[in-house]
Structure 1
Amino acid sequence: MLSNLDALLLARAQFGFTVAFHIIFPAFSIGLASYLAVLESLWLATRRQVYLDLFKYWIKIFAVAFAMGVVSGLVMSYQFGTNWSVFSDRTGPVLGPLMAYEVLTAFFLEAGFLGVMLFGMRKVGPRLHFLATLMVALGTFVSAFWILSVNSWMHTPQGHAVNDQGQFVPQDWWAIVFNPSFPFRLVHMVLAAYLTTALVVGAVGAWHLLRDRARTLSGPTEGARTMFSMAMWMATLVAPLQILAGDAHGLNTLEHQPAKVMAMEGHFRSHPDGAPLVLFGWPDEEARTVRYAVEIPKLSSLILKHSLDAPLKGLDSVARENWPPVPVVFWSFRVMVALGFAILGLGMLSLLARLRGRLYEWAPLHRLAVAMGPAGFVAVLAGWITTEVGRQPFSVYGLLRTAESASPLSAPAVASSLVAFVAIYFAVFGIGVIYILRLMSHPPHVGEHDLPDDLPIRTAGITPAPSVGSGRVAQPAE
């Protein structure tokens, strides 16, 4: 029994590690693809050189990030077949077609136009190139659509039946795809991707504003000013929308996964006359209480039920074996919320600086923007941990337990692959991240160069062809 338990924990750790690495790249790629489409549309509409320079600057970073996202996602199917074969067998009739739809729509759309977007600016007309950029941006959104539909069905399963072999089989595809949590999670994730990208773009712009000032140059480049201004507008406008979307998502979760919300709120006992909002504390599962709690009376009932005296059930109403790991969910939720309000604060400060005419001169704002650069990635990871750990102990909520989903593997077999993944991921993706940071360390220049032939994007499945004249074309790698 102990060996099986160890193998299960190792399998969960391996999947968590690889997904945590993978999720940050698609989150960045979704937002950055849309940002590139906006930049190219502004260039076509105004013919201002700065928009073209920024497009060429960020497309190099997008190419590397997209490639790392593709590579880091390949191991997901590997793990489904090795570590989670029972899950794959039981859910395959439902989830298999949804994953195939993602490949047939999003992946083919991205693959079909990515080469034109990366290397075709001088080979095709500007409008056709803009179409390619739009299709890549659309492809990233469609990919998020199908992946989140798959994952949301695991949280709020419907539209299926169970056959004699214990498999989930589809009965209503519309109900499966548009399951109850899917619309809320799609909006929440896409807005998170946009904010994550905005924070990175804003941090790079702020870094160059600070560096130019420190070097006492003639003044910040127009590219640094423009990217910083655009990023701060995104933070100002989208952060409030994200908070509203998160609130709606939380209410949906309360309806369909109440135990997760109980863990998020730290409610071990029911509150018939209004539940407090626990700001901080240490959840003690054995004592079934939050130690050293700092609370605001009845505020949780106001947020979740819109009434100070509304009753809220606690984990005492849920069988102990169905509790999620409360401390993990409790703290990851607070990290996500705290960063969400920090992003809102950054947006409001930038708006204040803009109204006072000091957006490009206020050094404390720029330093804060640089410090907040990674905040979007941390918030995405914290939100993912809250969502997925909060679903435990089920892989399909209420229907299939995680312990029943794993392959019958020994602990050493899982441990060896986990060690290999950790070593390879830190080596390969560490180098990739360093390369991206080096690209970001150089400011955008007037007349920014096109994507170079030596950019390491072969892992994305595209190989630059030899230069023809002044342009480059892309061909599928063999």
Structure 2
Amino acid sequence: MDTLLLSRIQFGANISFHILFPTITIALGWVLLYFKLRFNFSNDMKWMEAYRFWVKVFALSFAMGVVSGITMSFQFGTNWPGFMETVGNIAGPLLAYEVLTAFFLEAVFLGIMLFGFSRVPGWLHTLATFLVAFGTTMSAFWILVLNSWMHTPAGFEMRDGVAHATDWFAIIFNPSMPYRLAHMLLASGLTVAFLIAGLSAFRWLIGDRSAGVRTTLRTGLTLGAMLIPVQIFMGDLHGLNTLEYQPQKVAAMEGNWETGPNVPLLLFAIPDEEARANRFEVAIPNGASLILTHDPDGVVPGLNDFVAEDGTALHPPVAPVFYSFRIMVGTGMAMLLLSWAAVGLMIYKRRGVDGLPKPLLWGLVPMAFSGWVATLAGWYTTEIGRQPWLVQGVMTTEQAVADVPAPMVASTLIAYLVVYALLLTAYIGVLFYLARKATKGEPIRPRVPPSGEAIVAAE
């Protein structure tokens, strides 16, 4: 493999590992705020029990996200110098805004949120929780602004091969930004919903029947059942936006080779780029046309429209985009069925989580990480689907890659993969360790502030 392919794999591995943790912290911050507000207004200890457990998960996820994010940012210089040389006038300020408005905000108030419950007034602790949650969302906002601009660049002009901003409003609110931001925030919400439901189901199955576990299990399932139909609707809007600005990506997602009407929806196929056809298909007639154009006779773009005169493909690699899109959609359907079945049973039996059968609870445990699967599959669809462009219509991936020997990139790639595998295994192990420890009902000792005035923590 050459330097370009190895560098792409390395960056893909880094961002795949990194994105797992912001996907949790973005929404979990708001769920923690919800727990804290419910405690403030009801003084019911089950909400504080839920807060005290899940704030540990937040802290662990936040730390992992910061470390992996720093590693990833170095690669702009080591592996992709052409990116900043060409579009640094736009990418640089956006990344700086993310640091100034989000990362600093999170860092300043995270300590109060984690350790200040017994040391500061209740209103200040609640405010710190809000500001950390707001900071994580602002972080996602600025990163998605840059990512969206790379897909649908606007508000700039090229001078001597370098991009210069002409309209920052157009850059920030570029054509795909609202759809990508909403899609990602909802993905984060679903990731957290099923993580909460899955770990709570695990605690329930190993014998924890506390009010806190009942609360978090019900909260996770209800949140998932509410968000998944909204995500499906937003996914449809995002798809229509992609069809307008990146039709070649949509053609790869659908595995459609020839432009035309009445295009079937392929449930499964084996795309063959050499033959420029699919070797096996299981399809719903007119399905793709209906979904993408809301008309069964609607015209859907084909991949054969994106081929240069010399035969070079101007569309992304078909198989990775085609399969990752179906993994994302399939995982979303599993989320829909499981969450709606669970909430339906709770309502029908009128027994809350006590009415959930064990097979369903066991099914929720592996679904704790289904949000990760769907998020990664969605990101692969989006980012691989942009190829061969790094910034759509401005520069290709090949133009940005560093002139580094392939063996050097391969050696660092192997090191990254080993470290990430160990860290991910440790992270998941710690999550279940925390769940088991909480199930034992170990009390949290009250803390005494430096002033000597005892403020007993609400256990």
Is TM (by shorter chain) over 0.5?
yes
1:219-267: CA deviation from partner (whole Å, max 9, x where unpaired): 7211111111001110111110000011110110000000000000000
Match of 2:409 among 414, 433, 445: 414
Match of 2:272 among 284, 287, 294: 284
1:185-213: CA deviation from partner (whole Å, max 9, x where unpaired): 0000001001101101001111122222x
Aligned position for 1:313: 301
Match of 2:419 among 420, 424, 442: 424
Superposed, which structure 2 residues align to 1:213-252 within 5 Å?
220-252=209-241
Comparing 365-374 with 155-164, greater Cα deviation is found at 365-374
Superposed, which structure 2 residues align to 1:263-282 within 5 Å?
263-271=252-260, 273-282=261-270
- Indicate how the Cα distance of structure 1 residues 112 and 450 shifts in structure 2: closer, same or farther if over 3 A, else same: farther
Aligned position for 1:86: 82
The runs of 5 or more residues in structure 1 that have no matched partner are: 213-218, 453-464, 473-478
Contact 1:118–1:451 (CA<8 Å) still a contact in 2? no
Contact 1:57–1:448 (CA<8 Å) still a contact in 2? no
Contact 2:87–2:162 (CA<8 Å) still a contact in 1? yes
Residues in 2 aligned to 1:467 and 1:394: alpha-carbon distance in whole angstroms: 60
Residues in 1 aligned to 2:446 and 2:406: alpha-carbon distance in whole angstroms: 46
Superposed, which structure 2 residues align to 1:460-475 within 5 Å?
none
Aligned position for 1:105: 101
Residues in 1 aligned to 2:8 and 2:102: alpha-carbon distance in whole angstroms: 28
Q: Quote how far apart the aligned CAs of 1:448 are.
A: 5.1
Q: Quote how far apart the aligned CAs of 1:468 are.
A: 7.5
Q: Quote how far apart the aligned CAs of 1:387 are.
A: 0.3
Aligned residue for 2:266, secondary structure, equals: strand
Match of 1:54 among 31, 41, 50: 50
Superposed, which structure 2 residues align to 1:394-405 within 5 Å?
394-405=389-400
* 2:325 corresponds to 1:333: yes
Aligned position for 2:147: 151
Question: Residue type of the partner of 1:301?
Answer: S
Match of 1:260 among 249, 259, 262: 249
Aligned position for 2:387: 392
1:401-425: CA deviation from partner (whole Å, max 9, x where unpaired): 1011101111122122212222322
Q: Quote how far apart the aligned CAs of 1:386 are.
A: 0.4
Aligned residue for 1:162, secondary structure, equals: strand
Aligned position for 2:350: 357
Comparing 201-210 with 361-370, greater Cα deviation is found at 361-370
Tell me the TM-score normalized by structure 1.
Answer: 0.90
Q: Quote how far apart the aligned CAs of 1:360 are.
A: 2.2
Q: Quote how far apart the aligned CAs of 1:41 are.
A: 0.5
Residues in 1 aligned to 2:245 and 2:252: alpha-carbon distance in whole angstroms: 14
Question: Residue type of the partner of 2:53?
Answer: Y
Residues in 1 aligned to 2:370 and 2:198: alpha-carbon distance in whole angstroms: 10
1:283-309: CA deviation from partner (whole Å, max 9, x where unpaired): 111111112101111111111111111
- Indicate how the Cα distance of structure 1 residues 233 and 448 shifts in structure 2: closer, same or farther if over 3 A, else same: farther
Residues in 2 aligned to 1:12 and 1:122: alpha-carbon distance in whole angstroms: 47
Residues in 2 aligned to 1:205 and 1:426: alpha-carbon distance in whole angstroms: 25
Aligned residue for 2:313, secondary structure, equals: helix
Residues in 2 aligned to 1:106 and 1:448: alpha-carbon distance in whole angstroms: 34
Contact 2:324–2:380 (CA<8 Å) still a contact in 1? yes
Aligned position for 2:127: 131
1:133-152: CA deviation from partner (whole Å, max 9, x where unpaired): 00000000000000000100
Match of 1:66 among 48, 62, 67: 62
Contact 1:121–1:471 (CA<8 Å) still a contact in 2? no
Question: Residue type of the partner of 1:337?
Answer: V
Q: Quote how far apart the aligned CAs of 1:367 are.
A: 1.6
1:105-147: CA deviation from partner (whole Å, max 9, x where unpaired): 0011101111111111111101110000000000000000000
Question: Residue type of the partner of 2:365?
Answer: V
Comparing 433-442 with 151-160, greater Cα deviation is found at 433-442
Aligned position for 2:167: 172
Aligned position for 1:119: 115
Aligned position for 1:461: none
Q: Quote how far apart the aligned CAs of 1:450 are.
A: 7.1
Residues in 1 aligned to 2:263 and 2:445: alpha-carbon distance in whole angstroms: 58
- Indicate how the Cα distance of structure 1 residues 113 and 444 shifts in structure 2: closer, same or farther if over 3 A, else same: farther
- Indicate how the Cα distance of structure 1 residues 351 and 389 shifts in structure 2: closer, same or farther if over 3 A, else same: same
Question: Residue type of the partner of 2:61?
Answer: A
Aligned position for 2:290: 302
Residues in 2 aligned to 1:57 and 1:467: alpha-carbon distance in whole angstroms: 27
Residues in 2 aligned to 1:381 and 1:222: alpha-carbon distance in whole angstroms: 34
Residues in 1 aligned to 2:316 and 2:22: alpha-carbon distance in whole angstroms: 27
1:14-70: CA deviation from partner (whole Å, max 9, x where unpaired): 100011000000001112111111100100011000001110111111111110000
Q: Which has the higher contact order (CA 8 A, sep 6+)?
A: 1
CA RMSD in angstroms, aligned pairs only: 2.0
Contact 2:199–2:432 (CA<8 Å) still a contact in 1? no
Q: Quote how far apart the aligned CAs of 1:451 are.
A: 11
